[in-house]
Chains A and B, each alone.
Chain A
């Protein structure tokens, strides 16, 4: 076997792992879209906000400390405690539920029945707001997030593949953990939506708002729950990405990476998000590996979009999306 081919396999595997992380973000989009028809552009910023909150809570940062210091001339920064990761995650989950309630109560309750594109633009506004809010609350510097996840090269895979191919594959431990967590999350979400009362209510709302309302389902509660779930998914994605590359502004840009994933997989399908994520992850890594050197590299920025665009022209509803039927 040639070296190029073995490199190719390594690139392929790393692409799969990256794809899992894209799929994690895309999952949050799908959840909200299915239940409320809102295409939530702010999902990436929610991940950033969740990760920044987690770091802030664990380090005992005073929220809005910079703003408070600027207004009152004080000099407060830390409460002076350090929390273990699990407590921090629980507290952050509470914050995300609060955020979900606020979003539902103050924004989307007033926009019920508006056109989808207006809702989409509202979520762009929400993304801007949250971005500034997160920086005001926790500061904008790059933060290190460590909740005790394993990191670094997986030596077992390295040694095994070295034994077989004579070349050790570089696979990050964190990527493996992310894959496992994503798989668990999807299984949990499927069980939740198929076998619990709230999950059934959620699917009913997704099917038909009016009918769900008429059988006594509390729409507001379901929507807050869905936004909380999306917030939780954002938290998981934020932990993974934050551990990988630090908590910083670029974290919110993963939403832009998840969009083509959704277009490929279809906005309404959880398996679609997973498969789409894997295709995009592998595709962009392989494209960069094979074609990238010919055109000057950095093709990862646009490859996913162009792939999704070409794909959409032939199948407008995505791989697993429901057929779009339009009537006058």
Chain B
């Protein structure tokens, strides 16, 4: 009813091969693009852009990059933070004018436009990624995952010690100078919210479109063949050297662009160990897992989820309540009641059937958590200390990773697919 492909006839191969073959998907895609490009920039302010939109767009690019490597090509990487650092420092060198020493003589390139600096930074990162991807030809699985940690630690150490990379500044930090496109400031202290948003949106849209088409084409099929079984893929004629290294290069290109944007547009000043440490690698990996391995949409969904979660937790738990309305109190009591019911159901099922997880009790627990969220949001925060909220965030993210891996290994993207299937017939039974 609400999602259908019936009556959507294609009369040429071009029609059949387009990025979104189903009309409904295509129009929805145009609509999303229209809202993102034309409406959101009119409405956003600094808080929305800095707290939500910029991290969401930038992490989405990084997550797409990692998803190409992990989800499509099956090579797990824990070096994302290190590659983002490469992108950031390369971008910094290009936008401030790279100095090159040849035979004791210094040659300086002129500063390059920020747009092209970001793209060039992507290419530099692709090259570095290629180098660290070489071991993937010999080693597999978590041996490779651990080997990519070498990239993470080595690169962070390198950018700490190599003074050429941060232009010999005394603090060891890199600071983005003011750069503009068409006379509009994109980096530096005096930027407009809509400008930085649109700049990142252009990159996110372009990279997502390219990724979508790469993964649909012959390159993507080769990656997936390698992922599913590399020896079998080799036997049917996929060159593992080219497939694996191209996945590493493309993935690092994306991650490098994300790193460059993260430094130049989002943070503005970066200290490498703090901004691109191992935690960053894990967060991007979690986005890929929660969003859905092997899905471009999933990369966006995972990034949105993990960007929104801390914001939501802060609003719910850390902020101090202003006034408690009677409506909020109703939700509070409702939460207590639902929670008590689910606890009793867990107990009953544990005693009766010796199984602790009972599905109906889980539904009640879910309902009680939802009521709690509404309660906490309506009263305007529980006022807990921020360190407790931070620890709670770790617990929630860790638990979600496990829950997704156990219950839905293809993540939010799969939930989305399932709900689309439901919507095809809903509300009719057949």
Whether B391 lies near A140 (C-beta < 8 A) is yes
Please indicate the chain A residues that have their CB under 8 angstroms from the CB of B146 in the complex.
259-260, 262-263, 305, 308
The 8 Å CB contact of B406, one of A110, A133, A326, is: A110
A71 to B335, CA, bound (A): 14
C-beta contact mask, B5-35 vs A, less than 8 Å → 1, else 0?
A: 0000000000000000000000000000000
A121 to B149, CA, bound (A): 14
Whether A312 lies near B147 (C-beta < 8 A) is yes
Whether A118 lies near B160 (C-beta < 8 A) is no
A328 to B236, CA, bound (A): 12
Interface size class of A (residues with CB under 8 A): 35 or more
Whether B401 lies near A306 (C-beta < 8 A) is no
Known A111-B405, A298-B160, A312-B138; 16 more pairs at CB < 8 Å: A39-B142, A110-B406, A118-B405, A125-B286, A125-B399, A129-B401, A132-B398, A135-B391, A136-B391, A302-B154, A305-B146, A312-B147, A313-B139, A316-B139, A328-B232, A328-B235
Closest residue on chain B to residue A131 by CB atoms = B394
Whether B161 lies near A305 (C-beta < 8 A) is no
Cβ of A296 < 8 Å from any Cβ of B? Answer: yes
Q: List 7 A-B contacts (CB under 8 A).
A: A118-B409, A128-B282, A129-B401, A136-B388, A302-B154, A306-B150, A328-B235
The 8 Å CB contact of B135, one of A127, A256, A298, A312, is: A312
Whether A306 lies near B138 (C-beta < 8 A) is no
Whether A133 lies near B395 (C-beta < 8 A) is yes
Cβ of B392 < 8 Å from any Cβ of A? Answer: yes
Among A297-315, those with CB < 8 Å from B are: 298-299, 301-302, 305-306, 308-309, 312-313
The 8 Å CB contact of B285, one of A124, A130, A298, A316, is: A124
Cβ of B385 < 8 Å from any Cβ of A? Answer: yes
Whether A127 lies near B139 (C-beta < 8 A) is no
Whether B161 lies near A121 (C-beta < 8 A) is no
Whether B394 lies near A128 (C-beta < 8 A) is yes
Most buried by A among B356, B382, B395: B395
Whether A131 lies near B145 (C-beta < 8 A) is no
Whether A125 lies near B398 (C-beta < 8 A) is yes
* Residue ranges of B at the interface with A (Cβ–Cβ < 8 Å): 74, 76, 135, 138-139, 141-143, 145-147, 149-150, 153-154, 156-157, 160-161, 229, 231-232, 235, 278, 282, 285-286, 289, 356-357, 382, 384-385, 387-388, 391-402, 405-406, 409
| Minimum CB–CB distance for B116 against chain A, Å | 32
Please indicate the chain B residues that have their CB under 8 angstroms from the CB of A135 in the complex.
387, 391, 394
Whether A107 lies near B153 (C-beta < 8 A) is no
The 8 Å CB contact of B394, one of A70, A118, A132, A259, is: A132
Please indicate the chain B residues that have their CB under 8 angstroms from the CB of A114 in the complex.
405, 409
* Residue ranges of A at the interface with B (Cβ–Cβ < 8 Å): 39, 66-67, 70-71, 105-107, 110-111, 114, 116-118, 120-122, 124-133, 135-136, 140, 256, 259-260, 262-263, 295-296, 298-299, 301-302, 305-306, 308-309, 312-313, 316, 326-328
The 8 Å CB contact of A125, one of B76, B357, B402, is: B402
Whether B143 lies near A316 (C-beta < 8 A) is yes
Most buried by A among B76, B146, B160, B401: B146
Please indicate the chain B residues that have their CB under 8 angstroms from the CB of A295 in the complex.
161
Closest residue on chain B to residue A64 by CB atoms = B388
Please indicate the chain B residues that have their CB under 8 angstroms from the CB of A117 in the complex.
74, 76, 141-142, 145
Closest residue on chain A to residue B234 by CB atoms = A328
Tell me whether A107 and B143 are in contact in the complex, defined as CB-CB below 8 angstroms, given that A121-B289, A136-B395, A298-B160 are known contacts. no
Please indicate the chain A residues that have their CB under 8 angstroms from the CB of B399 in the complex.
125, 129
Whether A128 lies near B401 (C-beta < 8 A) is yes
A125 to B168, CA, bound (A): 39
A130 to B398, CA, bound (A): 8
A262 to B147, CA, bound (A): 11
A131 to B397, CA, bound (A): 11
| Minimum CB–CB distance for B82 against chain A, Å | 10
Whether B138 lies near A132 (C-beta < 8 A) is no
Tell me whether A122 and B391 are in contact in the complex, defined as CB-CB below 8 angstroms, given that A260-B146, A299-B157, A302-B154 are known contacts. no
Whether A124 lies near B161 (C-beta < 8 A) is no
| Minimum CB–CB distance for A58 against chain B, Å | 22
Tell me whether A309 and B150 are in contact in the complex, defined as CB-CB below 8 angstroms, given that A70-B388, A124-B401 are known contacts. yes
| Minimum CB–CB distance for A101 against chain B, Å | 11
Whether A131 lies near B398 (C-beta < 8 A) is yes
List the 9 closest A-B pairs by CB distance, nearest first.
A132-B394, A129-B398, A125-B401, A128-B398, A305-B150, A132-B395, A302-B153, A135-B391, A296-B161
Closest residue on chain B to residue A295 by CB atoms = B161
Please indicate the chain B residues that have their CB under 8 angstroms from the CB of A116 in the complex.
141-142
Whether B138 lies near A70 (C-beta < 8 A) is no
Please indicate the chain B residues that have their CB under 8 angstroms from the CB of A136 in the complex.
388, 391-392, 395
Tell me whether A316 and B229 are in contact in the complex, defined as CB-CB below 8 angstroms, given that A121-B285, A132-B398, A260-B146 are known contacts. no
Please indicate the chain B residues that have their CB under 8 angstroms from the CB of A106 in the complex.
357
Whether A263 lies near B161 (C-beta < 8 A) is no
Please indicate the chain B residues that have their CB under 8 angstroms from the CB of A316 in the complex.
138-139, 143
